[in-house]
Amino acid sequence: MPNRTISRFPLPARHTLAALGLALTVLVTACSSGPDKPKPTELGPVAALMGTQVAWTAQVGAGHASLAPQVASGRVFVASEAGTLAALDAGTGKDVWRIDLKARIAAGVGADGQTAAVVTRENELVAVADGRELWRVRLPARAFTAPLVAGKRVFVLTADRTVIAFDGSNGARLWSQTRPAEPLVLSQSGVLLAVGDMLVAGLSGRLVGLNPSNGVVRWEAPVATSRGTNEVERLVDIVGPASRIGGSVCVRAYGAAVGCVDTTRGTLVWTRPAQGTTGVHGDDRLVFGAESDGKFQAWQRGTGEPAWSVDRLKYRDLSAPLALGRVVAVGDASGQVHLISREDGSEMTRLSTDGSPILSAPALAGDALVVQTRNGGVYAWRPQ
């Protein structure tokens, strides 16, 4: 993994590396040298080949890449770094409830429609329902991945590659599964999702299937193998979000590869070298993602063969994408949301927000496209 991928973003959370037990500044200093960051590609006139209208807007407070909107049961759950957690009506954007947790938030939001969960910077897992705090428990390590709330349980993936299950009603610890640790980890959202009766987590460069009742490992599928001459270059953690269609889960290994796993068999279907640092999304035919230089790429979901790529968004610090119908949505560092054709990557239209970066993947709430900006703006659009 070339150092330029790291040095381009010396401080933001989604691209910094944290050494367990070591000061973050040590690694940042070691990786911050290199050429100046290339200028973003200039955008041409908006194509406007499809119509959209703003459905609603809201404000939650400044955030970061590990705070992505979560949609469940007709609500959009959002959080700010300062400690605000809110459930918005997906149709109107109005508050269903809002609470100040009195603690800075490091990761979230996980939600099942009723219970929402976040992780604070003090390593506390906090569960909230109907705007009321249910419980909070201290975690053994930092977490950068949103908790998963499912089956009346809350699951957490910590930075030391441990998966922990808690009782959703009272926070009682049910089980934990620890995998071999490595000297460095990413301070970036990983992958933790439910697939049928299975819990699937990204651990190092592997997808791992776990029994959600007891944490027993059912299978492991390697997406990328550590290589390189130092610990930074050998870092191949799975980064979120993932693309799930039925039992097919496609993911990105940081700076190394994109691949798809058959979770019903626990086998790797394909893997391809790729240099991106944000997650992927897709549909039943294609998988989409941005490379570290902003080249936007599509792969055939069944085989991994490249389908198309476009260069017009290079160096615009693209977010992870969202595939929805005939378009793919992706945000950039200037607060623009690009809607591009799933067939060939051509521009369909472009949407504007408050001008601050869109750091996490867009979300789909019913028929509305939702994004959250770093300055805390939450925007929803519907097709006309």
Distance CA 190, CA 204 (A): 10
pLDDT at 60: 98
User: Residue 59, class by beta-carbon neighbours within 10 Å (0-12 exposed, 13-18 middle, 19+ buried)?
Assistant: middle
Name residue, tokens 């790291």: 6
* Residue 15: CB atoms within 10 Å: 22
Q: Which domains does the chain have, with CATH numbers?
A: 1-37 (no CATH), 41-65+309-384 (2.40.128.630)
The secondary structure of residue 260, as a DSSP letter, is E
Decide: 250 and 238 in contact? Cβ < 8 Å: no
Q: How confident is the model over 129-164, as pLDDT tens digits?
A: 999 999 999 999 999 999 999 999 999 999 988 999
Query: Which one-letter amino acid corresponds to residue 307?
Result: A
Q: What is the pTM of this model?
A: 0.89
> In this structure, what are the phi and psi dihedrals at residue 7, rounded to the nearest 5 degrees?
-65, -20
Residue-by-residue DSSP string for 89-125: ETTT--EEEEEE-SS-EEEEEEESSSEEEEEETTSEE
Distance CA 130, CA 109 (A): 15
Distance CA 40, CA 356 (A): 15
3-state secondary structure (DSSP) of residue 187: coil
3-state secondary structure (DSSP) of residue 75: strand
CA dihedral 380→129→61→276, nearest 10 degrees, is -70
pLDDT in tens, the chain (384 residues): 333 332 222 333 334 444 333 333 233 333 434 467 899 999 999 998 999 999 999 999 999 999 999 999 999 999 999 999 999 999 999 999 999 999 999 999 999 999 999 999 999 999 999 999 999 999 999 999 999 999 999 999 999 889 999 999 999 999 999 876 666 777 899 999 999 999 999 998 999 999 999 999 999 999 998 776 676 767 889 999 999 999 999 999 999 999 999 999 999 999 999 999 999 999 999 999 999 999 999 999 999 999 999 999 999 999 999 999 999 999 999 999 999 999 999 999 999 999 999 999 999 999 999 999 999 999 999 998
